[in-house]
Amino acid sequence: MKRVLAGVLDVAYRDVGPSDGKPAVLLHGFPYDIHAYDAVAERLAGSGVRCLIPYLRGYGPTRFRDPATPRSGEQAALGSDLLAFLDALGIERAVLAGYDWGGRAACVVAALWPDRAAGLVSCGVGYNIQNIPASGKPAAPDVEHRLWYQYYLHGERGRAGLAANRSEFCALLWRLWSPTWRFTEEMYARTARSFEENPDFVDVVVHSYRHRFGLVPGDPTLVAIEARLACQPAITVPSVVLLGADDGVGPPPATDTDAAHFTGPYRRAVVSGVGHNFPQEAPDTFAEAVLGLL
């Protein structure tokens, strides 16, 4: 495990593979951590790729540098963190690959700072930039019911529930979101330490699920980035979208509703037998997508 001061964070991360290899940044989602990429990193490192795998804000040993920094989980914060991480390590361009929150960070940087992205792998949601101005528009009932956990966290009962039962809460999401993945208790416990040991996990998670619905203000220092994201900028870099056919929170639609947001080379694949945690459930497919962009 290594550490680097990057923007507002002291980031803990793994650096796997040859130091002179082409870089790929692998970004985990909620409620997961860097162990989602253990098998992916092994495969990529064996092909000469340098894999940089950071704990996101609110996870594992990553910490905020200043107690006064807002514990924001908004999309602009995730993108800003990734950009600061690249800068801190002197990485000019890398393949950015992630899912869930990590996919959002990768999409934000690929859209707003395309010169820093050699390519993009986005899982779960292809165009993973939130349209917050339109967040008040209801979705179809079969979509809404899968978002119960987000609505739960909108109230103080939900905050208290997550704080008191964070491991049990996140284990339930793992089971619901990847119904065909048979993970072991040991696998889950290894990741759950990232939720239990980080003092900012609850605050960051709650803010994320409130901000995306316009219920709370964001970090004042990130207003300009959020304004750019509200325009739903196109992603111009070469992109691969991987979707798990068995994703319990966001099953892929029959028609590709994301393609219009990608104006560069673009490929979409729906993979059977895979749920929400794509890199851990299908590491070979994920690694192949990264290698194809390098």
- Tens place of pLDDT per residue across the chain (294 aa): 999 999 999 999 999 999 999 999 999 999 999 999 999 999 999 999 999 999 999 999 999 999 999 999 999 999 999 999 999 999 999 999 999 999 999 999 999 999 999 999 999 999 999 999 999 999 999 999 999 999 999 999 999 999 999 999 999 999 999 999 999 999 999 999 999 999 999 999 999 999 999 999 999 999 999 999 999 999 999 999 999 999 999 999 989 999 999 999 999 999 999 999 999 999 999 999 999 999
Cα dist from 216 to 120, 157, 158, 191, 253, whole Å: 30, 16, 15, 29, 30
User: Where are the chain's structural domains?
Assistant: 2-293
Q: Are 203 and 77 in contact (CB under 8 A)?
A: no
Q: Are 135 and 147 in contact (CB under 8 A)?
A: no
Cα 113 to the chain's mean position, in Å? 17
Q: Are 72 and 21 in contact (CB under 8 A)?
A: no
Q: How far apart are CA 271 and CA 291, in angstroms?
A: 18
Alpha helical stretches, state H, 53-100: 75-89
Rounded to 5 degrees, what angle do the CA atoms 251, 255, 258 make? 80
Tokens of 197: 């040991």
What is the predicted pLDDT for the residue at 208? 98
In the CATH scheme, what is the code of domain 2-293? 3.40.50.1820
Pairing of strands 49-54, 117-123: unpaired
Q: Are 263 and 144 in contact (CB under 8 A)?
A: no
Phi and psi torsions of 104, nearest 5°:
-65, -45
